[in-house]
Amino acid sequence: MIEYECSISALPKMIHISQVEPNNFPCLIFSRLHNIHLIREQPLRASNRFIESYSILEHMQDQRSLFDIPGEIAYFNTAYFSPLLNASRDRMITGLNQKIHPWERHPEDFFDDANRVRELAAGLFGGDAEGYAITPSASYGLSTAARAVEPVIQRGDIILVLAEDFPSAVLPWYRVAKERGAVLHTVPVPVDGNWTKAILDQLVPGIRVAAVTSCHWTNGAHVNLEAVGEACRRNDTILVVDATQSLGAMPLSMETVQPDFLAASGYKWLLFPYGASLLYVSARWRNARPLEESWITRANARDFAGLTTYVDAYLPGARRFDVGETCNPVTLPGAIAALEQLQAWGIPQIAETLEGINARLCNALQTKGFQVPDASHRSPHMFGAKLPATYTGNLLQDLRPHKIFLSQRGQFLRISPHLHINDHDMDRLLGVLEEAVRGKLH
């Protein structure tokens, strides 16, 4: 047995490793967790197994030192705009110097960072690396999906969308429906908050496209994509997913969900710099028409001297869907640093820790008169709390002087922490909210 002390949160924990190949273990564990120090070693039985199991006895908490967030700031607004990791900032500064000193940039730099993003994304979310395209936004990715799908849409086909979904997830389908004579069918907001059941009830044979989300952006209501994906395959429905409000904070398996397209903005739960995002395209659609025609997606793109020899062939996989100027020397290095940090934390561990934070907040808010979704319908990382009917003020405006930041979407106060949140932040938020609803906030 080997015991390791880990400072992955503010409190030390013990990680117990059994059946480890000693020469290999340190390099593996350093790719998963930070600041791990060997404190005691006992003899190990001979084993060819790499790792059988390990367990972390506490959730990760308080990774604040990895961000540049002053102590007086309580930031519960990741679903709006995530704070940038210090590691991403440093990589971006290095990348900016390549623009300042362009003679230091090499031809392969136009491709290598994008391919590294693809590899990391595949390792975190599944699917093959060849299926990932680099986009500037979720709207670009979803419009790419709509452009690719449009030729197979016939007059009278039904396209399913969700009520009160984010505009970028709906507007491309408005255009497709108008130009192809298709019919938009909107799933109404479920009274009980169960979006999965509401979608499945409407996802009947004859639905040509299902444009859904993994987590409703207004209040964090969970959508079971595995069940939706299974229903789509059964009905031969094209599945297009906007995963902006969950990718990076909630486990996802491309192999299980099997979306035709899945897009996500990077600047929220992926912790990317603004302007870098992801699109996953299933193998079925990788020969479809892209949104734009760029030199860097063509088969001869690496031959800078021969670019005037125009070719029809694209680079393999989903690269044809990459945005022009794919390898931005500033944003992509920042995105790589973010993906590496997500890999080090582990998506399940992120989700579990955020779920614990939000469970504490939900329980406390209910005692103060807020309505929160049932735990069975909540996503682990964010939730919406309905303000008490007695409160008539402007809560966001009231919170700002106290340096507490969150969002309001419709009738919901949207709370979306990340691993920088600590007990002091939670205590301040709950205290100020209690004073606000009692009319005693100053």
180-225 pLDDT, tens digit per residue, is 999 999 999 999 999 999 999 999 999 999 999 999 998 999 999 9
pLDDT at 7 over 50: no
pLDDT at 400 over 60: yes
pLDDT of residue 13: 35
The structural domains of the chain, ordered by start, are 2-58 (no CATH), 65-76+346-437 (3.90.1150.10), 88-344 (3.40.640.10)
309-360 pLDDT, tens digit per residue, is 999 999 999 999 999 999 899 999 999 999 999 999 999 999 999 999 999 9
11-38 pLDDT, tens digit per residue, is 333 333 333 333 333 333 333 333 333 2
Highest averaged pLDDT of the listed ranges 83-87, 98-102, 294-298: 83-87
pLDDT band at 442 (very low <50, low <70, confident <90, very high): low
Phi, psi values for residue 275, rounded to 5°: 105, 0
Contact present, 441 and 396 (Cβ < 8 Å): no
Q: What is the mean pLDDT of the chain?
A: 86
Kindly give, in sequence order, each residue whose CB lies less than 8 Å from that of residue 362, ignoring residues fewer than 6 positions away: 372, 375, 378, 383, 385
pLDDT at 302 over 90: no
Nearest to 71 by CA among 420, 406, 431, 353: 420
90-107 pLDDT, tens digit per residue, is 999 999 998 899 988 888
136-183 pLDDT, tens digit per residue, is 999 999 999 999 999 999 999 999 999 999 999 999 999 999 999 999
- Give the range among 116-120, 126-130, 386-390 with minimum mean pLDDT: 386-390
pLDDT band at 229 (very low <50, low <70, confident <90, very high): very high
pLDDT of residue 177: 97
pLDDT of residue 440: 67
pLDDT band at 390 (very low <50, low <70, confident <90, very high): confident
pLDDT of residue 402: 95
pLDDT band at 441 (very low <50, low <70, confident <90, very high): low
d(CA 105, CA 331): 15
